[in-house]
Chains A and B, each alone.
Chain A
Amino acid sequence: MREQEESKDLLYAIRALEIMMSSGIGLEAAILSIAGGGYGIISEDFQKMIKQQKKGKKLEVALRELMKKSSSKGYGKLLTTMYNNVKSNTDVLKTLSMQAAAEEEERNEKMQKYIDDLGGLPESLLSIGMISPILLGLIGLAPQLMGDAGAIMGTLPSNSTMMNIVRIGLGITLIGMAFIGLKAHTKDPGV
């Protein structure tokens, strides 16, 4: 979940940092601007980092702690770039530009994959949603349709037992449908 949240706003945060730093703003001021809000979980993380700094913690230590906490690869890379910039005064602009390009490419790929993955969702939902009520409907009708066929079929369960089977079966079908649909949520590229 955290990984998804991080990836959602990462590209915008990198671009914002890139623009701010290319316009001569320092890393700490850029962090402060991002912490101001608008970049989801990244803003929250930066806010916490600033609070820690105010309490006396060094920026590189706060960044290293955040690096350990980060879940997504891209966010980890961004924090490493920032850490290196603080530690060794590296050329952060070029790295940020490359990271943003890579992140954008990844986002496009994720989006295409999401569209492809969900292409078969209507058919999957319809299959389970149609087969189950047809079969369970017939099971529900069985005691009445075949009530007189006891000699051939043996004794059928009572109507109430059959209704309970139908109830449970349709309940499971609903859960199944929800699980099939869950991939629309879990694979969301965050665009």
Chain B
Amino acid sequence: MILDFLEILNDYPAVLLLIILSIATLGGGIPPILERRRRRILENAISEVLELLSDNIGAGEGIQQALARVAEVRNDLFGKLINDAMQASKATSFEAAMAEMAVKSRSKQVQRVINLILTSLEGDAPMQDVLFEMSQEYSRLNKLMNKRDTELQSSAFLIIFFVGLMLPAIIAFMIGIFAPKSSGMVVSDLNTIMAYFFGGATGISVLISGRMLGRMMNWFWFVPSLALFSMLIYILGFEMIS
């Protein structure tokens, strides 16, 4: 069975190369997904954290006290980061601890918020209003980002499903029916061309889908594995039908 499978793939050197590439890149594709998930958890919490801070400051607390209160209330990653920053501020300065927190968050949004908080503090600004305004703004922004994700995710997966799975299956069926192996027709050249076409088409589809969701580079890692999957569907589909 395995030997038969390898015998079939022997005619497609690019497939053999893609098997190796797929194994290597599948591993590389997982960290960006985890990192993005972590970042989005933090970013979706920004609005709530800022609103809480604004309320606490409005109640007469200082910024450090308000932050400590937020860390107590929140059991999520944001709460942990604030808690760590508060601990660090005992050994260093508040500004340094906040700057470290910004770096640790690895999120552009969190870094911007912290930068603005520190700048406003330096300028002795009305923090309650500043924080409340920022919370509203980041709430709207994150809603918009989530909207893009939810509304375009189905289209993105549909593209990959259609081009990477349905299309090679249908064409393999068609060619397998019209020119089965038993008929004696020589279709090896056509099969090679078609298999490479499906690999390329799937690669393009994955990149388009990734771009639609604003994370093409993350999806780039999955191009070899999905292209391989598509090529195998065509090659094995043809073998099965004919």
Contact = CB atoms under 8 A, between A and B. Distances in A.
B208 A184 contact: yes
Contact of B119 (A20, A104, A121, A174): A20
Given A20-B116, A166-B193, A178 B204 contact: yes
Nearest to B191: A140
Contact of A181 (B120, B124, B211): B211
B190 A163 contact: yes
Given A19-B120, A33-B119, A125 B162 contact: yes
B17 interface: no
A181 B115 CA distance: 37
A137 B194 contact: yes
A115 B171 contact: no
B178 A134 contact: no
A20 B124 CA distance: 10
Contacts of B125: 19, 22-24
B134 interface: yes
A111 B147 contact: yes
A130 B171 CA distance: 8
Contact of A167 (B123, B124, B137, B193): B193
Interface string A1-45: 000000000001001100110111100000001001010000000
B235 to A, nearest CB: 14
A33 B115 contact: yes
Give the dominant DSSP class at B's interface: helix
B144 interface: yes
Nearest to B130: A19
Contact of B162 (A24, A126, A170): A126
A77 interface: no
Interface string A175-191: 00110010011001001
Interface string B112-151: 1001100110111110001001100100110011011001
B33 interface: no
Which of the four size classes fits the interface of chain B? 35 or more
B187 interface: yes
B201 to A, nearest CB: 6
Contacts of B148: 111, 114-115, 191
B94 interface: no
Contacts of A167: 193
A3 to B, nearest CB: 18
B155 to A, nearest CB: 5
A115 B187 contact: no
Nearest to B147: A111
Given A122-B159, A134-B174, A23 B204 contact: no
A63 B35 CA distance: 38
A98 interface: no
Contact of A184 (B137, B170, B187, B212): B212
25 contacts: A16-B112, A19-B133, A22-B126, A23-B120, A23-B124, A23-B125, A24-B125, A108-B144, A111-B144, A111-B147, A118-B155, A125-B159, A125-B163, A126-B163, A137-B175, A138-B178, A140-B189, A144-B179, A163-B189, A170-B193, A170-B197, A177-B163, A177-B201, A191-B144, A191-B148
Interface of A: 12, 15-16, 19-20, 22-25, 33, 36, 38, 104, 107-108, 111, 114-115, 118-119, 121-122, 125-126, 129-130, 133-134, 137-138, 140-141, 144-145, 159, 163, 166-167, 170, 173-174, 177-178, 181, 184-185, 188, 191
